[in-house]
Amino acid sequence: MGRIEPGTRAVVMPLHVSTTFIRDPDNGYSSGYSYARPDNATVREAESVLAMLEGAEAGALLFGSGMAAATAVFGALEPGDHVVAGTVMYWALKRWLREEAPRRGLTLTFVDTADLDALGAAVAPGRTRLVWIETPGNPLWTVTDIAAAAEIAHAAGARLAVDSTAASPVHTRPLERGADIVMHSATKILNGHSDVVAGVLAGARADAFWDRIRGIRAGSGGILGPFEAYLLMRSLRTLHLRAAAQSAGALRLAERLSGHPLVTHVLYPGLPDDPGHAIARRQMRDGFGFMLSIRVAGGEAGAIATAARVRLWKRATSLGGVESLIEHRASVEGPGSPCPPDLLRLSTGIEDTEDLYGDLDQALRSAHGG
C-alpha cells in the first residue's frame, strides 16, 4: 500500500483507463500491455495488494463481481468432475450451482461442511475435484475448520476453495491453513463503501488449474474495470481500520442482543456459546467479523415488522459497508433456503454501537406492540 508512482512521486497510484496500447517497432509489447480485456495496470496494482494480504503465491485476479470470480473456478473444472459444497453459503451462488453447474457436466453434493464427518463422507476419492466452503457461512455464520477441510479435500485428490467474504484477510487467511484458492466478493468489506461491485480470487500456487481460471477471465471479459479497481485501492487503504471497528461493534451488539427479551437466538461465532466458537478462535484473529444474525420473537411476522421499523439501520441487501444494514433473508432466498423465517441478518457498520443497539431495541419493541 506504500508504493510510490515513479514518474511523479505521487503517494497515490494513477488511474489507467486506456483500452489499447502501442506496439513496439519489432511488433512486441515491451510495456507488458496490449489490450485492456485481459489486463490493466490499475487492476494489476490492486491485485498485488490483495495477493499480499492473502499471502497468495500465484497472485490475485480481480473480476467484475463476486459471482464472476466464483463461477470462473467452477468453469475451470472438467465435465464429469464432482464438487462438494456447503448447504450454508451465499444463496445466489448456490442457486447458480443447482441450475447451471449440471448443464456444464458437473455433479454436486451439498453437505454441512461444519460437520467434518459428513464432509469426509461426501468427498469421493479420485472423483471429487473441488471442495467449496464458506466460513463463516452466510447467513447462519456457521464455521468450518479450514485446515481439516483441506486435509479431507487433498486426501481425495481435490482442491479446497474458500469463500472468505465474511472474514476478510484481516480475520482469516485461508491459504495459510491449507486452502488452494480463496474467493471474496470484494463488493463487501474489502471495498466497504457500497460503491463498487467486484470479486477476487487468490491462489496458493500457479499451476494449470490457475492458468485455466486466468484464461476464463481473459476470454469471457470478466476483468474488473480500472475505475472500480482504483476505488477498491482507495478502500483497501482503510481495510484494517474498518474491519477492526466493525468486528468490535458486531461483538458488542451480539453480546447485548443475547439478553434481549424479544431476541430468541443470536448467531455470531464470537459468542462463547456459539457452536463454531472454538474453531473460530483457532482460525480467526483480531475479531470474528462484522456479520451476525438474530432470530426474533413472533416468527416471520415479528422479524419483518422489526426490519420495517428501524431508523438508523438501512433496510437493504449486501453487507460489509460502513453503513449498517438489516435484511430478512428468508424473503430474499425463497423456498429451499436454510434460513429460518424469523431471522434477520445484520451487517454492522461503523456507527456508534449504542445508537445501533438503541435503534434495534426500539424496532423490536415497536414491532411487538411495545
Catalytically active residues are: 37, 90, 163, 188
Residue 150 contacts residue 179 (beta carbons within 8 Å): yes
Q: Is the peptide bond before 139 cis (omega within 30 degrees of 0)?
A: yes
Percentages of the chain per state (helix, strand, coil), in multiples of 5: 40, 15, 45
Q: What is the DSSP string of 283-326?
A: H--S---SEEEEEETTHHHHHHHHHHT-SSSEE-S---SSS-EE
d(CA 212, CA 222): 13
Place of cell 485446515: 147
For helices 208-220 and 66-75, the axis angle rounded to 10 degrees is 130
Whole-angstrom CA distances from 199 to 47, 255, 257, 311 are: 11, 32, 32, 31
Residue 191 amino acid letter: N
